[in-house]
Structure 1
Amino acid sequence: MKEVALVIIFNHNYTANIKPLTLLYGNRFKNIFFVIPFYNGNLPNVINVFEKSCFFQGYISSALNQIKKEGFKYYLIIGDDVFLNPSIEETNFKNFFNVNEDTAFIPGPFLLSDPSETRPSRPYAPYWNSIADAQKFDVIQFGFHSEKYLPSKSEAKMLLNRHGFDFSYKIPRRMFFPKPMIRFKEGIRHNLQGIKLLLKNIPNLVYPKPLKYPLIGSYSDVIVISAKHQENFISYSGAFAALNLFVELALPTSIAFAYPKIVSEIDTKYKGETYWYYSHNECEKKYKKSLLYLTENFPIDTLYVHPIKLSKWK
């Protein structure tokens, strides 16, 4: 079997990124696939998809279903605006992500009802924007027989519990109070966002709507999965795409259902460096919008830097 495929997900049809990404990773990975929505070119390593980017778990299911016949042991899946540690390549990636055939890596899986959780993508912790997506989600939807493709509620809860996620359908009121709401050093834009979130969540501060199906969340722009359990993963993530579940709920939940063990950044020496919403400019200033400068000054013990908008960087 081949060791690993690097699968790069494009949220949008920005094919200009193919060339710089090939230059960036071509000498580190023998097998690179680009997954691009509404692609109309003829490159053999580009996989055409049609789902919305907010459900890009469907991109991944479609891509893996096409390339699984090539016999890869692992898939390292990243967004096109993720800059991997320059030392990561196909002979050593398992050491960086601490994976084996029975594990999957995802940066920071968390329970939606845990107010103490502050892993990546939660700048307003304990509040998380996509809790609302989880509250309105239901596996019972017209035109799709979810019971054929997803675990029952009781089975789903058991599958989450085996990873240490003591799932509860109830969400505490304090999950909807973004704190600290006021951060003087972040500027007006950030603080206005915090106030808007507070106003938006007034109904949930009175009575939080319970969840209808067991789910977990996680930042999902970098994952590693093995082929050993890929069939279940492909089915679960494809089903969640058909049901329009937001990707940062769908991917971590699919991984938890399909794989016996999850590893995250708390289980690795290397951590991701992420910049959210109000802090994109901080990333660009720190690395001078230069891929060469970032490569030469890549921070020690860092897995990746995100986001790096290739269209804006030299």
Structure 2
Amino acid sequence: MTPSIPAIALNTGARLPLFGLGTWQAMNADELKVALRVALDAGYRLIDTAAIYQNEHVIGEILEEYFNAGKLKREDVFVTTKLPFYAMRPEDAEESIKKQLAALRLSYIDLYLVHCPCAMKPNPAGISNNMEHQDVEHIDTWRVLEKYYKSGQLKALGLSNFNAKQIQALYDKAEIKPTNLQVELHIYWPQFELHELCDKLKMTVTAYAPIGSPGRLTFRPDDDWPIGSPMEDPLVVELAKKYGKTPAQILIRHLLQRRISVIPKSTNPDRVKQNIDIFDFELSTEDQQKLLSVKTRVRLFEFRFCAGNKHFPFEDVDLTKKSDEKESM
């Protein structure tokens, strides 16, 4: 029996599942197809992707397969995707939305996010520190998203990797208010202040890297990644033993109890099944508070490829640190 995934209301009236499948780095089409089928059969109803993940077409193929077979209806699945930061000029945003709808084989996208506040020019070499910046105001990009919201092709709009000032500035100018913020969020980077702002603005929050994104280290092993592994935290290991769960399951359950949507990524079928097995237990108030009180603080994704952009969002990042890392959450 598949679990019933709890959901949280968006300001549009739609409901965002509090648990789903992240697909960053899932670029092997065959592995992703298997993972998607396992996930949908196990009860996943939220699929998170992005143009820069280069896998929307694979997701579209599997969703169409399930819809055509009558296994699921379109309204059963919540699809989130994102506008790439190399398509933030209004004319480029228009083209990207159309291409993404076609790749996903959908007539509408449930939630569409501006992936990053920094507008960049397309780079054939990929995401790196030598990308060229573009001067694009967020509200100009947002007006295009509002147009497609009004047409019904984008059912809800949101932001990703924006800081508090950027969120508030766009919110104040927007006709259609953002309804979701997706950011790095885990016990080592709990985002208490941003979560509080989103509550005030009636915006939901989605956590990427909820278990610490261990895959980032194999994605670019030569990069100077910030070091932090929430799954190896002594408290998390202790609680995993106490509840008879994996460290990943403890971290996911912790965020669900904060009413934050969680999108752990995996293409390993066993881990895909494990990650959703978190609805048969609840962390005690005492244990939840212990996790909220973890003292370690480390941002795992620094977006230094955006250094020099006037919209660079993270004041805490040391931009003098040398690296050529690719961060594309």
**Which TM-score applies when normalising by structure 2?**
0.30
Ranked by relative contact order (alpha carbons within 8 Å, sequence separation 6 or more), the top structure is: 1
More strand by share: 1
